[in-house]
Amino acid sequence: MPSPMTLDVHAPQLLAHLPQFFRSLESALAEQLQNASRAGASAMTITLAHAPTDEFAWMLTLEDNGPGIADPRDLFVAGQSGWGNPAITDPAGLGFFALLGLSQACTITSRLADGSGWTATLTAEVFAGASFMVHPLAVSPHASSGLTIVSVLKPEAHVDALLSAEDWSTHPPRWRHAYPLTVILHRPR
């Protein structure tokens, strides 16, 4: 006799395996561009540089001019996108997790127009259930709102595509074509 069933998720095990779902830096960047675009940002600056603490590691900084994120849980809950209309870009709520999976550590800073904000640093250990702290942040009233993510990338993040990228103002990569943002890339030559 047939029995009705539903799918279920074992959250701790899924969280531990999330880094395996996003293995390309390009897909992680596309997720971040999608998030910034949906949040109302008009520009994102992407900076790739050698990490100051490890000459063999790369540091990726993403900074947008959107409104920032008031509630950190909107960023740190897998599968929760916080977006209303999914018709255009179908948000999965995994954008930040895509980048975190390629990172040794990420520091996120959210600046809001009202002068408030928050910052948090996460390491890869969060996928195994480690906790992290979110700290309130007083933002200068003259600072612009937005979100900044500074990530020290794992070696498997493969930054070659960013290092060899053509001028994005004339030859944007195909993975960023769908997002109406001005994207500025700074990288070593």
Per the CB < 8 A criterion, the answer to whether 48 and 75 are in contact is no
Q: What is the pLDDT of residues 37-82, one digit of tens each?
A: 888 999 999 999 999 888 888 999 999 999 999 998 888 776 555 5
Residue 126, phi then psi, degrees to nearest 5 = -65, -25
In which order are the strands placed within the sheet that holds 182-186? Answer: 134-136, 117-123, 103-111, 146-153, 54-64, 43-51, 182-186
- The Cβ of residue 113 has, within 10 Å, a number of other Cβ atoms equal to 14
- The chain-wide mean pLDDT, for the chain, equals 79
pLDDT more than 70, % of the chain: 71
Question: What is the pLDDT at residue 88?
Answer: 47
Question: What is the pLDDT at residue 83?
Answer: 46
Owner of token pair 């790369």: 58
Question: What is the pLDDT at residue 94?
Answer: 63
- The Cβ of residue 65 has, within 10 Å, a number of other Cβ atoms equal to 20
Question: What is the pLDDT at residue 84?
Answer: 52
* Amino acid sitting at position 151: S
CA dist 189 and 49 (Å) reads: 10
Question: What is the pLDDT at residue 134?
Answer: 92
Q: What is the pLDDT of residues 141-187, one digit of tens each?
A: 778 899 999 999 988 888 887 777 666 655 666 665 667 788 888 88
Q: pTM for the whole thing?
A: 0.82
* Amino acid sitting at position 188: P
**CATH numbers and ranges of domains, the chain:** 13-82+90-169+178-186 (3.30.565.10)
Q: What is the pLDDT of residues 109-151, one digit of tens each?
A: 999 998 899 999 998 888 777 888 999 998 787 788 999 999 9
DSSP string across 151-170: EEE-GGG-THHHHT---TTT
Q: Provide the β-strand partners of residue 108.
A: 120, 149
CB neighbour burial string for 152-166, b if at least 16 within 10 angstroms, e if fewer: bbbeebbbeebeeee
Per the CB < 8 A criterion, the answer to whether 18 and 78 are in contact is yes
